[in-house]
Amino acid sequence: MSKDGSKSNQTKQTIYIGKNAVRIENKEGVTLFKIEGDSAYIVRLMPQQKTYMVLPSQFLVMGMLGTYFKCNDAGCDVDTTAIQPTGETDTVKGYKAQKIKANMKLMGVQTMPMFQWMTKDWDKLNEAMEAYWKVVKKVMLKNAQDPEEVQLMKEVFEYIEKIQDKYGNTIKSEASIWNKATVTETVSVFKVNISYDMFTIPKDYQQMEGFMQFGR
């Protein structure tokens, strides 16, 4: 129950991070980031329909990285004011964390403020996020076609790395989306042995028409 007495909805998301692949699972489906030889791809799996679609990096750039851009009619640049410390600290899950204000944006246009608690003290979280961004960065840069897009993405990733070096990684975040408070929290981080198949497109899945073809 939320503070106002209404029922709260909880959504679980699990991220599996391998040396050359990332798998993100939530109720909407599964997203794979994978490096395979000299190529890389981003795939969205829909298990209920047993279908998949291959996503171009442009589809995800503004979604995953939109907060770090500032855009206008002339184009986009890195928003070096996207992450601002509030000067407040707190203990979250036993770790000292700094409260950070982020100007949450979609497609490079500001939508709402979001507060993040970032920590440098949770070693497993920082190790996992370093591995996560390493894969995502390689995949997205390999998928980018426009030289200007590639350069801008490189600058954004450099900015993200500076933020991580200074504040660590997000352990908790709060935002008000459509007048509803949304809280995201990292519950646990641990190492597991998983099958290689977790990072592949199942053979019985059909590709959705109208999207980029991917040769398996």
Residue 14 pLDDT grade (very low, low, confident, very high; cuts 50, 70, 90)? very high
Determine, yes or no, domain membership for 30.
no
Determine, yes or no, domain membership for 98.
yes
How far CA 40 is from CA of 47, 74, 92, in Å, comes to 22, 30, 36
- Spatial CB neighbours of 73, under 8 Å, sequence gap ≥ 6: none
User: In the chain, how many domains are there?
Assistant: 1
Write out pLDDT tens, residues 81-135.
888 999 999 999 999 999 999 877 665 556 677 899 999 999 999 999 999 999 9
Determine, yes or no, domain membership for 110.
yes
pLDDT at 60 over 70: no
Dihedral, CA of residue 164, residue 43, residue 153 and residue 119, to nearest 10: -10
Q: What percent of the chain has pLDDT over 70?
A: 84
State the Cα–Cα distance between residues 84 and 196, nearest whole angstrom. 39
pLDDT on residue 211: 46
Determine, yes or no, domain membership for 136.
yes
**Residues 13/25, Cβ–Cβ less than 8 Å:** yes
Write out pLDDT tens, residues 122-176.
999 999 999 999 999 998 888 877 788 888 889 989 999 999 999 999 999 998 7
Determine, yes or no, domain membership for 92.
yes
Q: Which two tokens stand for residue 121?
A: 């003290």
**Structural domain span for residue 134:** 56-191
User: CA angle, corner 111, sides to 107 and 115, nearest 5?
Assistant: 110
Look-up of token digits 């998301």: 13
Length of the chain: 216
pTM for the model stands at: 0.83
Determine, yes or no, domain membership for 123.
yes
Is the torsion defined by CA of 94, 179, 14, 107 positive or negative? negative
Determine, yes or no, domain membership for 65.
yes
State the Cα–Cα distance between residues 95 and 136, nearest whole angstrom. 26
Determine, yes or no, domain membership for 3.
no
